[in-house]
Amino acid sequence: ASSLLLCFRTSLVVPLIFGLLLQPPLTQLSIVTQPNIVLLMADDLGIGDVGCYGNDTIRTPNIDHLAKEGVKLTQHIAAAPLCTPSRAAFLTGRYPLRSGMDAINNYRVIFWNGGSGGLPPNETTFAKILQRQGYTTGLIGKWHQGVNCESRNDHCHHPLNHGFDYFYGMPFTLISDCQPTETPEMDRAFRRKLWLSTQMIGLVTLTAALGRLTGLISVSWKTLTCLAGFSLLFFVSWFSSYGFVQYWNCIMMRNHEVTEQPMVTDRTTSLILRESISFIERNKHKPFLLFLSFLHSHTPLLTTEKFLGKSSHGLYGDNVEEMDWMVGQVLDAIDKEGLKNTTLVYFASDHGGWLERHEGKRQLGGWNGIYRGGKAMAGWEGGIRVPGIFRWPGVLPAGTVINEPTSLMDIYPTVVHLAGGVLPQDRVIDGRDLMPLLRGTVEHSEHEFLFHYCGIHLHAVRWHQKDSGSIWKAHYVTPIFHPLGAGGCYDRGFCPCFGEGVTHHDPPLLFDLSRDPSEAKPLSADTEPLFDTVIKKIGRATEEHRRTLTPVPEQLSVYNVVWKPWLQPCCGTFPFCWCDKEGDD
């Protein structure tokens, strides 16, 4: 009887022990099941504009609390210092020149909704992979990756063709031209040249006509007619696009439908917030991906009455504080639906703050803290080092700070793996899965080298020497600041990538960011014993990297960038494009 009892107990205990051994821990279970993913991306926000990154005058309590509950990255790097290429890299996990989204000229971003360039249809975004894994995917806010290729309604570059089930927002980007009371921003210097040329041609035509009438100039009426016709055609050729920027670029869309043309800026913030919360509420019962791409804090700094005049930093500070409030509203919606513990939340900016952006004494751009440079500068840290915060309660350790080099491109493999997807095998993916680093199961980032491009021009390379902790950075090209020592290109409004506005360095400028994060004191062979070794190591890595590049069509070529009337999204019969469907509702 005792032996039978022992056998019976054994038969119960053994399966129980095996069951316990095979049962995965709670955190592992959370990773196996597909979490909701909410990606929050600010526009033009400087790393120095956020409280948890050192700002003590602009109030960002919700972003700060997100960092307190999660993981803060201190060396989070954008793949480009401007919107279009940085976001292309974010969406694809690849350096933007791999997809043709980095410029060979001075047109470094998508310039028109009616242009033909954009994120190529053959690129596989993380949204497309998550869509295949059963996620409902949504993009609310800014896109700036193009719309059409060959016809007004082919939508080849549109979010819905890149893995998003739902889109509400701007297919372009916010610019001061969208606010009639603001000074026009888009291609300002070129527009001045066009106006001047028009006036000169008009003056020549008028002078010739008066000369003919007074008999002072011998010119035929036929010649005068041709000259007048040319003057008119020249004016129409550029004014048909630049004269109506607000109608062509400042539009809102819901999926493929244009809902506001031009957009009504007074209600844009509330509509974007409403759409974001509604998306969460509609999709709470199954895994979803929400990419909330803020229009904040890009000029013209659309800010509601509630926040105007509330900050210590003028309109820009007001705008950042309003964005922080919006972050809080989205986080509250996640909590309200009981999704906090099953949702990975990520917050970042697409690149550094715009130092040169000001109107008179009003500073309209961001602050990059201790870091040198800003928006449009690919080499200096201020142009590419951005906030990076992750929160996932129960999975990621709260209050963690990670000083390892990471990239916005890392979001791609991270969310793909969390969704149970597989990375594309037919192309190079430059991002690395961040979950082991975020959870603390590994000590170092997988990135040994990061390459910093300005357009297609390599400006700098970073080497993470893991055995010593040094983070070396070699600058091959740097912009020439004006005025000298000012820290930005205030004469141009943007620092260039090539030409007379840059300096080439041979040997390159070398910094150790672990000792000199502000890049204030370049090293030399006299001051750094490892100088030659480091430069050679970075040079070999650059050669290997360049061997992985293959030629692709240039999406930002002059032809692709220029406005094409037949590609312009229009909610009426072109050119009579006007509607306010939100107002009608």
Please give the C-alpha separations between residue 550 and each of 85, 95, 336, 364, in angstroms, as whole numbers.
Answer: 17, 12, 48, 39
* Residue 484 included in any domain: no
154-207 pLDDT tens trace: 999 999 999 999 999 999 999 999 998 888 888 777 888 888 899 998 898 888
Helix, strand or coil, per DSSP, at residue 164: coil
Cβ contact 565:538 at 8 Å = no
Catalytic residues, by residue number, are 83, 144
Omega before 180 cis (within 30°)?
no
Q: Which residues contact 19 (CB under 8 A, 6 or more apart)?
A: none
- Give CA torsion, residues 320, 324, 325, 329, to 10 deg: 140
Q: Report the 10 Å Cβ neighbour count for 471.
A: 22
40 shares its domain with 105: yes
Number of domains in the chain: 2
Q: Which residues contact 309 (CB under 8 A, 6 or more apart)?
A: 318
70 shares its domain with 209: no
* Residue 143 included in any domain: yes
Domain enclosing residue 438, as ranges: 36-174+250-447+553-580
316 shares its domain with 401: yes
* Residue 82 included in any domain: yes
What element of type H or E holds 450?
A: strand 449-454
Cβ contact 60:324 at 8 Å = yes
pLDDT at 220: 87
Amino acid residing at 264: V
* Residue 179 included in any domain: no
Give the separation between CA 291 and CA 67, rounded to whole angstroms: 19
Please choose, from the candidates 138, 176, 141, the residue with its C-alpha nearest in 3D space to the C-alpha of residue 269. Answer: 141
315 shares its domain with 353: yes
**Spans of the chain below 70 pLDDT:** 1-32, 584-585
152 shares its domain with 100: yes
235 shares its domain with 124: no
What CATH code is carried by the domain that includes residue 394? 3.40.720.10
**pTM of this prediction?**
0.92
Cβ contact 513:520 at 8 Å = no
Cβ contact 99:88 at 8 Å = yes
pLDDT at 84: 98
* Residue 91 included in any domain: yes
pLDDT at 222: 87
**Strand-pair partners of 81:** none
Three-state SS annotation for 410-430: HHHHHHHHHCCCCCCCCCCCC
227 shares its domain with 275: no
229 shares its domain with 80: no
372 shares its domain with 224: no
pLDDT at 27: 41
* Residue 497 included in any domain: no
308 shares its domain with 429: yes
545-579 pLDDT tens trace: 999 999 999 999 999 999 999 999 999 999 999 99
Cβ contact 405:447 at 8 Å = yes
257 shares its domain with 238: no
Give the separation between CA 376 and CA 352, rounded to whole angstroms: 8
Give the separation between CA 60 and CA 322, rounded to whole angstroms: 9
* End position of a domain, from candidates 226, 242, 258: 242
117 shares its domain with 152: yes
* Residue 486 included in any domain: no
* Residue 219 included in any domain: yes
